[in-house]
Amino acid sequence: MALRLTEQPSLYDNLEKKSVAELLHDINQEDQKVALAIQKVLPDIEKLVSAIEAHVREGGRLFYLGCGTGGKLAVLDTLEIPNTYGVSPEMVQCVLAGGVENLVQDIEEAEDWLDEGWETLEKKHHVTPKDIVVGISASGTTPYVLASLKACREHGIPTGSFVNNPDSPISQYSDYPVEILTGPEFITGSTRMKSGTSQKMLCDMISTTLMCRLGRVEGNRMVCAHLINNKVVDRLTRTLMDRNGIADYALVEAEIKACGGLKEAEDSLRRKGFIK
């Protein structure tokens, strides 16, 4: 049986004998290949994101499903979306092998659990065909992800996936598969490196594109962010000032704090005659 692409020997050897400069240079050389690998499958990514958008617009939810590096990166993405874009945390969620609540425990054996993924989707989240489930797996063979996507298909739940090997079993059970071929890892089999980088990049691309399409970004600004700290308050204050030609920082800051957000403050200032 041929080795999967992600398990093939590194293009580099004798790493323990290399200098710091040599190691950093070689890792950087490999990292540069990731964006180019993603570029080659942009049409497949477009199909996946378009399907996600269609389901979300109809009231459905996006569920990432994974374990290891990919699953953990998806959890981080789902945690950041509500505050950054002012949407419900129900819109984009992650089902992580071993449970999101155990994120820092790194339960590696959970990737072999065949039933947990579907049981979590069905019993905890009450997944329906309105939703879409996207599996993440560098190998493309992770039992947890594969079994869950099979169960989704049996129950009429739309599926997507992104993996780092060609012609993977997981892709076969995905309605919208994406195969990002990043090649052998710098350290043989260490898919937390290039494969993980591609997974982080794809999560960013999916969530950012989705939020832009849903109108949570205007121009190039986050206009729906929650007021979670002083940095965000300052950013929204300056955004509102720039958008409406207002020079009074204190006025705008106070209005944003009082109203709880940029859009609300903008409406309030318009009613008060500060914005035409």
Residue 136's nearest CA partner among 202, 49, 47 is: 202
Q: What tokens does 249 get? A: 């920082």
Dihedral in degrees, nearest 10, Cα atoms 135, 67, 56, 86: -150
Alpha-carbon dihedral sign for residues 215, 221, 224, 225: positive
Annotated catalytic residue, options 80, 119, 122, 218: 80
Distance CA 78, CA 131 (A): 16
CA end-to-end distance (rounded Å), the chain = 69
Q: Is 253 a catalytic residue?
A: no
What residues does 163 pair with on adjacent strands? 137, 179
Question: Which residue is catalytic, options 30, 111, 253, 266?
Answer: 111
Which residue, among 269, 243, 273, has the nearest Cα to 258 in the 3D structure? 269
Smallest CA-to-CA distance from 227 within 259, 179, 182, 183 is with 259
Confirm whether 154 is a catalytic residue.
no
Active site (catalytic) residues? 80, 111
